[in-house]
Structure 1
Amino acid sequence: MPSHVIIGRGGTASATAVRLAASGDRVRMISRSGAGPEHPDIERIAADAVDATALADLAKGADTVINAATPAYHTWPEAVPPLFGAILSAAEQTGANYVMLGNLYGYGPVDGVVTDDTPLAATGHKGQVRARMWLEAKAAHDAGRVRVTEVRAGQFLGAGAFSVFSLLVQPKVVAGQLALVPQNLDLPHAYTAIGDAADALVAVTRSENAWGRAWLAPTITSTLREAAERFAAAAAAPSPRLAEMSDRELTLLGLTDPFWGELFETYHMSHRKFTVDDAAIRETFGVTASDLDTVFAEVVSAS
């Protein structure tokens, strides 16, 4: 049976592991905590993936290495290169295919819709490091050292999501309280459901047509206000009370937690229209975006 190593234990990593295991594949999940979903065909291992030698040993015999690692948000420029370099090295050493879970940061400010032809032109340090990690992996692919692909997701929604919406909107809506968010309330935004990202990762992992390029994940286009209203309906909660956080408020919060200050880099995504054309992954693999009501019904059921 096929065997996979997944680096990470977050919502998408866990959903991907469950889907692969449910189909009869063997999965080894590696994270510092050793956490992850329970399943007879999912082995959970506590290890530091930045150790390329140890990781290669753990990945021996795997058909695929899936990188769904998520270092702390404000540490990306320092933490991502050695971690992703070790994962790429492990895939090369073992001969496994290499699948990356990416995001939209690498594109930087974009006029119009993000498409497969949109260049990686990030102007911020987090976006630049994500773009560089893909380009290094693609160079290894082009040199014949490893087969590589990447799935690039929008802001995550769904059970297990860790995002502005899941952290700042959902609990406030359920409690009937004001949700103060660092995002425009009424501009279209690109969201990706955890389950859709997992379906996309599974699809590219199993295809001979996925390698050597990146794929834009199935995307739900919605304003934050609409998403909040749909979530409130699913949760049988009061009508959402929403307000946009000011720059001053965000700056003050940044004095207590570096996470908040990092959000200024992505103002082009949170305070301008930011949408994605996901036609390629839909037409190639038949993976489509879920309906918001379905996504939020799963969140409510899991809570």
Structure 2
Amino acid sequence: MTHLVLGAGPIGTTLALRLAERGDHVRLMTRSGSGPEHPAIERVVGDATDSEAVERAARGAETIHHCIHATAYRADVWRRELPAAERVVLRAAEREGVVVTFPESLYGMDAAPQPFTETSARTPGSAKGAVRVDLLAARESAPVRTVSMAASDYFGPWARANAHAGERMIVPILRGRTVRPLGSADQPHSFTYLPDLAEAMIRAAEDDRCRGLMFAPTGPPVTQRELITRYAAAAGVPVPKIRPVPGGALRALGRVHRDTRELAEMLHQWERPFVMDSTHSEAVLGLEPTALSSGVDRTIGWWRTGA
């Protein structure tokens, strides 16, 4: 099979490698032609907003996995960039008659009652969440089959700077420094193992029953303190000091600093429980979440040898 993967961030890279390692051909498109090296991965240069480039890359592909990010973590940038790019990929998919999968967050329902499920009300608690709701609606009204695979904050190999449970947490642990998580270190929070998200996207693309919003296999929630403790144990180092970033200070700074304001807008996800239930999608996909202990061990091993 040939697959088109758009974007080589943590999700796109993980997905491309999993497809390549099982013997499929992957066409990986980024603006710079970057991405992991593998004999089965063909790296091509192209912009996801360029209709001709995307349609050219999609020729002969049997699935499209749209894994791009916006250029900034801001609602106005998301609103300007993401719908346009998704319209391009949906047109290319319609032309080829193929399915499109999208990684998705829980932002669009994070003000709904918990635990979140696939049928939770799309009640966003932020401007960024409102963008996600509109993206979901556009995909679901498209003339091709689409699957939006939602995950909570992810961890695992390739989850670096933009992951709360990635570089922000692991690098201080490995260097014996204080870890500064957002919000509370003691609220239950769902964390999705990145390879489980990638595998769910692959499985859903191959199953005609899968469409609309689904949930990636995600294990029971843990606190940030527990995850930090498990990382330290896997690395064989002492548990570091844990001093959460004060929410009040972050909100105060956000009044004068735009990027901080965008981060502070999402503090509710870390100051209160943030829990998803993926059991329905797991049953449909025939998948189970990787055990936390195994995911943590593999993540630390990657940081030790491959990061």
State the TM-score, normalizing by the size of structure 2.
Answer: 0.91
Q: Distance in 1 between matches of 2:256 and 2:11?
A: 29
Contact 1:109–1:268 (Cα < 8 Å) also in 2: no
Q: Distance in 2 between matches of 1:263 and 1:289?
A: 28
1:107 to 84, 109, 132: 109
For residue 243 of structure 2, give the secondary structure of its aligned residue in structure 1: strand
1:148 to 138, 146, 149: 146
Report whether the alignment pairs 1:64 with 2:85: no
Q: Distance in 2 between matches of 1:3 and 1:268?
A: 41
> Corresponding residue for 2:48?
49
Map 1:173-184 to 2 at 5 A.
Answer: 173-184=173-184
1:244 Cα deviation after fit: 1.7
> Corresponding residue for 2:5?
6
Question: Which has the larger strand fraction?
Answer: 1
For residue 181 of structure 1, give the secondary structure of its aligned residue in structure 2: coil
Contact 2:3–2:61 (Cα < 8 Å) also in 1: yes
1:80 to 72, 79, 82: 82
Contact 1:59–1:65 (Cα < 8 Å) also in 2: yes
State the TM-score, normalizing by the size of structure 1.
Answer: 0.92
Tell which deviates more after alignment, 156-165 or 195-204: 156-165
> Corresponding residue for 1:127?
129
Contact 1:152–1:215 (Cα < 8 Å) also in 2: yes
For residue 190 of structure 2, give the secondary structure of its aligned residue in structure 1: strand
1:180 Cα deviation after fit: 1.6
Contact 1:67–1:101 (Cα < 8 Å) also in 2: yes
> Corresponding residue for 2:241?
241
One-letter amino acid matched to 2:61 = A
Render the CA deviation track for 1:231-261: whole Å, top value 9, x for unaligned: 0011112112111211343246658974432
Q: Distance in 2 between matches of 1:157 and 1:233?
A: 16
For residue 90 of structure 1, give the secondary structure of its aligned residue in structure 2: helix
Tell which deviates more after alignment, 93-102 or 69-78: 69-78
> Corresponding residue for 2:224?
224
Q: Distance in 2 between matches of 1:253 and 1:67?
A: 34
> Corresponding residue for 2:297?
297
Q: Distance in 1 between matches of 2:90 and 2:260?
A: 30
Q: Distance in 2 between matches of 1:296 and 1:123?
A: 30
> Corresponding residue for 1:282?
282
1:202 Cα deviation after fit: 1.1
Contact 2:170–2:231 (Cα < 8 Å) also in 1: yes
> Corresponding residue for 1:33?
32
For residue 165 of structure 1, give the secondary structure of its aligned residue in structure 2: coil
For residue 98 of structure 1, give the secondary structure of its aligned residue in structure 2: strand
Structure 2: 5+ residue runs without aligned partners? none
Structure 1: 5+ residue runs without aligned partners? none
Q: Distance in 2 between matches of 1:9 and 1:18?
A: 10
1:204 Cα deviation after fit: 0.5
Report whether the alignment pairs 1:94 with 2:96: yes
Contact 1:109–1:269 (Cα < 8 Å) also in 2: no
1:94 Cα deviation after fit: 2.2
> Corresponding residue for 1:250?
250
For residue 150 of structure 1, give the secondary structure of its aligned residue in structure 2: strand
Render the CA deviation track for 1:126-185: whole Å, top value 9, x for unaligned: 111111111101011xxxx21111100110101111312213221111122111221211
Q: Distance in 2 between matches of 1:40 and 1:21?
A: 8
- Structure 1 runs (4+) greater than 6 angstroms displaced: none
Contact 2:183–2:247 (Cα < 8 Å) also in 1: no
Q: Distance in 2 between matches of 1:165 and 1:41?
A: 30
1:196 Cα deviation after fit: 0.6
One-letter amino acid matched to 2:267 = Y
Contact 2:3–2:27 (Cα < 8 Å) also in 1: yes
1:27 Cα deviation after fit: 0.8
Render the CA deviation track for 1:33-85: whole Å, top value 9, x for unaligned: 22112222111112111112221121111111111112232232222121222
Q: Percent identity?
A: 29
How many residues of Structure 1 are paired with residues of Structure 2 in the alignment? 297
Q: Distance in 2 between matches of 1:257 and 1:205?
A: 41
For residue 228 of structure 1, give the secondary structure of its aligned residue in structure 2: helix
